[in-house]
Amino acid sequence: MNTKKYIAEFIGTFTLTLFGCGSAALSGGIDGKLGILGISMAFGLSIVAMAYAIGDISGCHINPAVSLAMLISKKLDIKDFVGYVIAQILGGIVAAGVLSFIINSSSNLGSVAEVGLGQNGFGSASYVGLSMGGAIVVEIILTFVFLMTILGVTAKAKTGTVAGLVIGLCLAFVHILGIPLTGTSVNPARSFGPALLLGGQALSQVWVFIAAPLIGAALAAVVWNAVCKTED
C-alpha cells in the first residue's frame, strides 16, 4: 500500500479546501473583502504550495478529476486511483469540518448556515442564478481547460520545475470566471466536503459538482491523448 502517497493526497486536499473554501466563507464571498480575485488566488496559491510540498510524493493530484484523467492516460493504476480518491474525499470532509469549527468558534461570524462553507451551487445558490444545465456546461468546460493545462505542463521534464506555478495560476484563472457562476468546483472532493456538512440545498446539488468535473476531466484526457500527446 502506498500509504505515504495517500497521506499526501489527504493533506493536499485538506489544505486546498480549508484555505480556498475558507477564504470564500470567512471573507464574505464575492461581495466581501477578498472578492473574486482574492478567493481565486487563495485556491490557486493552495495548489502552488502543495505542488512543491507533496508533488514528489504523490504528484499532488488533490482532486478526483485529476486522478481520473491520469488513470485514463495510464499514468495511475486502478489501485492507486481508488486510494487517491478516498484520501481526497476524506481530506475535503475534514477540512470542511475544521472550517465549520472555526466559524462556530467566532462570536462575530454568525452561524455556518449563514456564512456557508464555500459550497458550490446553481439556481438560487448561484450568484448570477445560473441554471442546472448551465452549471453542468460551465463545470465541464472549466475542468477541461484545467486538465488540459495539467496534462500539457506535466508532459515533459523541462517544464516540471514550473508545473506547480502554472497549474496554480490556471486554477486561479478558471475560478475568476467560475466563482460568480457556480462558485467553481472543478474538484469533486472540494465540493463534497462542504456540501456534506451543510446538507440541504448544497448536498442536493452536489451531484452536479461531482459528475461534471469528472466528465470534463475524462474529455480532457481523451482529447490530450488523441490530439496533443507526442512521442519523445
pLDDT in tens, 60-92: 999 999 999 999 999 999 999 999 999 999 999
For the cut 70, the answer to whether the pLDDT of residue 22 exceeds it is: yes
CA angle 212, 203, 83 (to 5 degrees): 60
Query: For the chain, how many structural domains are there in total?
Result: 1
For the cut 80, the answer to whether the pLDDT of residue 229 exceeds it is: no
CATH number for the domain that contains residue 37: 1.20.1080.10
CA distance 64 to 41: 21
Among 171, 176, 182, CA closest to 119? 182
pLDDT bracket for residue 230 (50, 70, 90): low
pLDDT bracket for residue 109 (50, 70, 90): confident
136-159: average pLDDT? 93
Indicate the average pLDDT of the chain: 94
In whole angstroms, what separates CA 44 from the centre of its chain?
Answer: 10
* Domain that includes residue 214, residue range: 3-228
Among 150, 156, 152, CA closest to 168? 150
Residue 66: what pLDDT? 97
CA distance 29 to 33: 8
pLDDT bracket for residue 7 (50, 70, 90): very high
Q: At what angle do helices 132-153 and 208-223 cross, to 10 degrees?
A: 40
In whole angstroms, what separates CA 11 from the centre of its chain?
Answer: 14
Counting Cα atoms < 13 Å in the Cβ hemisphere of 138 gives: 25
CA distance 125 to 201: 8
